[in-house]
Structure 1
Amino acid sequence: MRKIRQGDDVVIIAGKDKGRRGRVIRVYPDQEKLLVENVNVVKRHRKGNPQQGEAGGIIEQEKPIHQSNVALYNPATEKGDRVGIRVLEDGSKARYFKSNNELVDG
C-alpha cells in the first residue's frame, strides 16, 4: 500500500517550491517520484513542426518530484503530516496521520 496516492493533497517540504500545496496528478512508483500540479514547473523550448501542425515556442510543464520531498496535507492541523498504515478490525489496511491518529480516507 502506498502512503501517497494519486489525487492526494500534499505539501512540498524541500526544494525550490517548499511550502506550496498541490494535488498529486500521477505516481511513478518505480522511480519513487510524484507529479504534483503547479509544482516543479519548468520551461521547455519546443521547436515547431509545421507538417504535423505543432506550434513552437516556450512551454511550461510540471516535472516529477521525489516523494521524500513531499508530505501529505492534514486538514485538521493544516500542515504536512507523516502517514502510517494500520490494519483495521476487518483485516483491511488504512492510512492514518501520525500526529492525530485520524484516518486519511475517512
Structure 2
Amino acid sequence: MERARAMKMNIRKGDTVKVISGRDKGKQGEALSVSPTSGKVVVHQVNMARKAVKPDPKKNPQGGIIEMPAPIQASNLKLVCPRCEKPTKVKRSKDAEGKSSRKCGKCGELIDG
C-alpha cells in the first residue's frame, strides 16, 4: 500500500485564516491544528459538527450532544495577513542563510519573521 504524501501547507497552527468557499464562506478563525498528510485544517468556530457523547464520570458525567470544529480542506482557506488584515496568497522568500519564510502576497510583509 502506498503511503500518503504530505502536501506543502501555507497555513500553520495559530494562523488566522478566512474561509473562501463552502457553507462557512466568509468566516474567520484561528487554525487549531493542521494535517499536511490529509490536507485538512481545524479552524476555531468554523465547520462545527455535532457529536453524540456517552456519559463519562471523568470528562462529561451528563453525556449528550456537543458541538466541535470539524476539519476543513486547506484549499478552501486563505491566510489573513497580520499587517494588512486581508486574505492573501502566501509567497515564499529566502533570506541570506537560505532559510525560506512566508510573505504576504498583497503587502509583502514577512508573516513568520
Where on the TM-score scale, by shorter chain, does this alignment land: which range?
0.7 to 0.9
Aligned to 1:98: 105
2:43 to 36, 49, 67: 36
Structure 1: 5+ residue stretches without partners? none
Q: What count of residue pairs does the alignment treat as equivalent?
A: 106
1:53 is displaced (CA, Å) by: 6.8
SS of 2:103's equivalent in the other structure is strand
- Residue identity in the other structure for 1:17: D
Aligned to 2:15: 8
Aligned to 2:3: none
- Residue identity in the other structure for 2:20: I
- Residue identity in the other structure for 1:18: K
TM normalised by structure 2 equals 0.82
Residue identity (%): 37
Q: Aligned partners of 1:49, 1:12: CA distance in 2, in Å? A: 34
Aligned to 1:65: 72
Aligned to 1:86: 93
Aligned to 2:5: none
1:55 to 41, 53, 62: 62
**RMSD (Å), alpha carbons:** 2.1
Does structure 2 conserve the Cα–Cα contact (< 8 Å) formed by 1:40 and 1:63? Answer: yes
Aligned to 2:30: 23
Structure 2: 5+ residue stretches without partners? 1-7
